[in-house]
Structure 1
Amino acid sequence: MTYCVALQTDQGLAFMSDTRTNAGIDNISTFRKMHVWEEPGERVIVLLTSGNLATTQSVVSLLNERSKAPSDRVPSLLQTPSLYQTARLVGSTIKEVISSSAPEGEKAESYFNASFILGGQIRGGEPRLFLIYPEGNFIEASEDTPFFQIGETKYGKPIIVRAYDRHMNFAEVAKLLMVSFDSTVRSNLSVGLPLDMMFYERDTFRVGLKRRITQDDPYYRTVSDAWSNALRNAFTALPDYPEK
C-alpha cells in the first residue's frame, strides 16, 4: 500500500509520499513513489504513484524513455504545452500500459490498477494539480478541493481537513504533512518510512526543497512525539462521562 499527498497553497505546491511497497513480516521493500522532471526556467512536473508496482513503474519508465529518446519519439511530457495536456498524456500512458499488460478482458479496476497525482507548472500557466484514475481520466484541484491523496488515505486525512489553510507557508505545510504521515504510519503497517517531501514555489520553474525523511530525522521525531503528547493531553482535558 501507499500514502501520497499533494496540496496547493498560495506559495506553491507541496508533495509527500512514503516508500513502502511490501509490509510482510520478513519482506519490506522500498521504492520511490515521487518522480520529478525539471527544465529549469521552463517547467517542473511531479508525479506521485500508488497501486500495482509493475504498472506504476512501467508508466514512469515509458514517460522517462519518451522524454529522453530522440526527438521523433513522441509524445514527451517535456514538450506538452500545458499541465492539462500533460495530464492527458499520463492518462493515455496508463491506459496503454494496462491494456498491453492485462490478459484479454482484464479491466483497470483489477490488480493492474494504479492511481497518480500530477502537479507542477509550465511557463505560461499557473501551478496545477490533477488526480488521475486507473482508467486514464482525471480531475483537477480547485478552491473547494485544494489537495489530493492516494493510497491509504483515511488515517492522515482528518488533520489535513481540520488544519489546512491555503495561506500556509511551506514551513507550516511541512508540519501538517509530517503529522498526517505520522498518523498513517502509526495506524497502518503497509505505509512506512522513509518519506519523500518536495516543495515547488510558484513561478520559479525549478525544484525547491527536496529531501528524504528517515526514522531518525530529528524534526520528524519531534513532531511525532509532540503530536502524541498533545493528543493525550487533549484527551485528558475532556470531561469524564457522568456516572449518574
Structure 2
Amino acid sequence: MTYCVAMRLNAGLVFLSDSRTNAGMDQISTFRKMTVYENAGDRVLVLLSAGNLAITQAVKQLLGNEVIEGPDGDPITIWTAKSLFDVARIVGSAVRKVYARDAEALKKHGIDFNCSLIVGGQIKGEPMRLFSVYAAGNFVEAGIDGVCYFQIGESKYGKPVIDRVVTPHTPLEEAAKCALISMDSTLKSNLSVGLPLDLLVYQTDALKVDKLINIDETNAYFRMIRSSWGQRLRQVFDSIPDPTWNGDQPDLAASNGHAQPQAMNPLSKIAAPQG
C-alpha cells in the first residue's frame, strides 16, 4: 500500500508520496511513487501512483509514448498537450490500455485491477491544474466545489489534519508542513506506508522544478515533526477538560476565558425482569 497527497493552492502545488510497497509480511520493498516530467520553461507534470505496482508501472511505461487525438484532430502526447485536461486524458487512456491487456488475466488469479493516480502541474499559457484518475481511466479535477487536494492509498489517517488546516489560500511552505504532518500520522498508524518520502513544492508560473527533496530517516526537519507533533497533540489533549457525569453542572459557559465541560446525563436504564 502507499499514501500520496497533492494540493492545488493559489500559490502553487504540493506533492508528497511515500515509497513502500509490499506483497506480504516478508516482501517489503521500496519503489518511488512520484514521477516528474519536466521541460523547463514549457511544462512541469507530476504523477503520483498507488495500487498494484505492476499495473502502475505499466501505465507509467506507456505514458511517455501514449498518443491521443487532440481537440483539432492532431495527435498529442504529454509533451505536446496544450492543457492539463488533455494530459489527464492521456493518463486515462494509458490506464484503459493496461486494463484491456491485463485485467482478465488478473481476474483469473483473483487479483483486482487496483490503480489510482494523481496528475498535476502546469503547462505554459495555462493555469495550474490537478486531477485524480481512477482505475476506469476517468478523472475529476481539484478546485471544483472547493476541493483543493487529493489523496490516494491509505488516506484516512492523514485526512483530518488537512481538512482542518489547508485552504486554497494556504501558503506553500505551510501546506508542505501540513502534508508532512499528514504523512507522519499515516506512518504512525499504518505499517504499509514507509520512508523514504518524495516532496515536491511548485510555485505558480515557475515552469521548472526547483524544490524536490527525498526525505529519509536522517532528515532533521521530518525527525523534528515526528517527535514534536505527538507531544503537541498530547499537550492540547491534556488542556481540554474531562467530561463530568454528575449531572449538576450547567451547559458550556465561559469562566475566566476557559470553557467549562458540559455535564453528561446518564442514559435511562431498563431493569431486568425478575424471576
* TM > 0.5 fold call: yes
User: What is the identity, as a one-letter code, of the residue corresponding to 2:18?
Assistant: D
Structure 2 residue aligned with 1:164, among 163, 166, 185? 166
Q: Partners in 1 of 2:180 and 2:105 — Cα distance?
A: 43
Bigger CA drift: 27-36 or 153-162?
Answer: 27-36
SS of the counterpart of 1:44?
strand
Q: Which residue of 1 aligns with 2:217?
A: 215
CA distance 1:227–1:4, shift in 2 (3 Å): same
Over alpha carbons, which structure has the higher Rg? Answer: 2
SS of the counterpart of 1:54?
helix
Contact 1:23 1:190 in 2 (8 A): no
Q: Partners in 1 of 2:227 and 2:24 — Cα distance?
A: 26
Percent identity reads 47
Q: Partners in 2 of 1:54 and 1:219 — Cα distance?
A: 33
Q: Partners in 2 of 1:105 and 1:27 — Cα distance?
A: 20
User: What is the identity, as a one-letter code, of the residue corresponding to 1:124?
Assistant: G
Question: Runs of 5+ in structure 1 lacking a partner?
Answer: 68-73
- CA RMSD across the alignment: 2.0
Contact 2:106 2:113 in 1 (8 A): no
SS of the counterpart of 1:165?
coil
Q: Partners in 1 of 2:3 and 2:198 — Cα distance?
A: 11
**How big is each residue's C-alpha offset from its partner over 1:206-240, in whole Å with a ceiling of 9 and x where there is no partner?**
11300011112110011121110111111111212
If asked which structure has higher relative contact order (CA below 8 Å, sep 6+), I would say 1
SS of the counterpart of 1:102?
helix
Q: Partners in 2 of 1:115 and 1:35 — Cα distance?
A: 14
Taking the TM superposition and a 5 Å limit, the aligned residue runs for 1:75-154 are: 75-103=76-104, 106=107, 111-142=112-143, 144-154=146-156
SS of the counterpart of 2:217?
coil
User: What is the identity, as a one-letter code, of the residue corresponding to 1:138?
Assistant: F
Contact 2:4 2:48 in 1 (8 A): yes
SS of the counterpart of 1:241?
coil
Q: Partners in 1 of 2:30 and 2:138 — Cα distance?
A: 28
Contact 1:23 1:189 in 2 (8 A): no
SS of the counterpart of 1:139?
strand
**How big is each residue's C-alpha offset from its partner over 1:150-179, in whole Å with a ceiling of 9 and x where there is no partner?**
010000000000011322222212210111
**How big is each residue's C-alpha offset from its partner over 1:85-116, in whole Å with a ceiling of 9 and x where there is no partner?**
11001001100011111227959xx6222010
Alignment TM-score, normalising by the size of structure 1: 0.91
Contact 2:66 2:90 in 1 (8 A): no
Q: Partners in 2 of 1:161 and 1:231 — Cα distance?
A: 16
Structure 2 residue aligned with 1:178, among 169, 177, 180? 180
Structure 2 residue aligned with 1:155, among 154, 157, 182? 157
Q: Partners in 1 of 2:177 and 2:36 — Cα distance?
A: 22
User: What is the identity, as a one-letter code, of the residue corresponding to 1:161?
Assistant: D
Shift of 1:25: 3.9
The number of residue pairs the alignment matches comes to 237
Question: Runs of 5+ in structure 2 lacking a partner?
Answer: 68-74, 247-275
Q: Which residue of 1 aligns with 2:16?
A: 16
